[in-house]
Structure 1
Amino acid sequence: PAQLEWLIEALKSSKATFKFVCTGSQILNPTTGYENFINFPEERDELLRLIEAEGIPGVIFLTGDRHFSEVSVIRLRNGQRVYDITASPLTASPFTDAPRREENPYRLEGTLTPQRNFLLLHLSGPEKARTLTITAYNSQGQKLWEKSLSAQDLQPK
């Protein structure tokens, strides 16, 4: 509880448009059997509940250790979206069965990348209208896909 309380207070006090929370395990993907927060449902639900209850805008989880990349999004009851950007692997073996074995209903279409890859995050735009652009590249540096998130998408409605 003390760690969660500290995290929520830090997020509440941040003036950043996008608030990046880095963790080794996915937060939003509901697939069980792997290292992710769905294996700790009470803690996961409490984290998301507090983000919503406190009206904390701009929360984006940066996660990894799944041997594929993807972007997941959920919409909280207050209308705001919370994103989970998963990036891996660059050099380890990819989880090539992910398209067949991973039923993540929160995955953004076109972002599942079951091969060696890396992601580049680019922040741009004026202070009140920032954009986060996520670009995926394969291990040879060839662009695979690109998605842009508006700061407005991460605000309570």
Structure 2
Amino acid sequence: MSSSKARAERPDNSDEFAARAAIKKVLAEFRQMKKEVVPSAPNSTGTALKVVKAMREKNPQLVMKKDHIGRIAGIKVGDTFDSRGEASVIGLHGPIMNGINTVKPSVPGRDVIANSVAFSIGNIYPDNSYDESAGILVFSGEGRHHRDGSQSKK
């Protein structure tokens, strides 16, 4: 990386810079481990699950705090990730299989809050959509749907 690019990416806050560097290091380790764990299928969900589990056992602080709401140091608005596994291993999205992570209300009778939504462009669900120019994401929910279009009974 050129020094001018490094200066451009470096936030004013050195703690934020260190957090961002740590995020990049964890992502690089995750990507490398995926290639090593199952070289024939590094991008499969099963491979990602194995790697996330191994990394969390090695470093428990990678687990997303269940009640976390708000920004996470080292992650910028607009950052993209190749998989839920990547978002999960850096603590941005807790569940590796589910698209929605929620926080239960601390006050009875209040609504559950979604604190992260993992959405992929080209999602297999036809009622999900993303309009980049308008910045609008329609995520109809999760669960019970299978890739073949059938639904499980609730």
TM-score under structure 1 normalisation? 0.28
TM-score under structure 2 normalisation? 0.28
Structure showing the higher helix proportion among its residues? 2
Give the number of the structure whose alpha-carbon radius of gyration is greater: 2
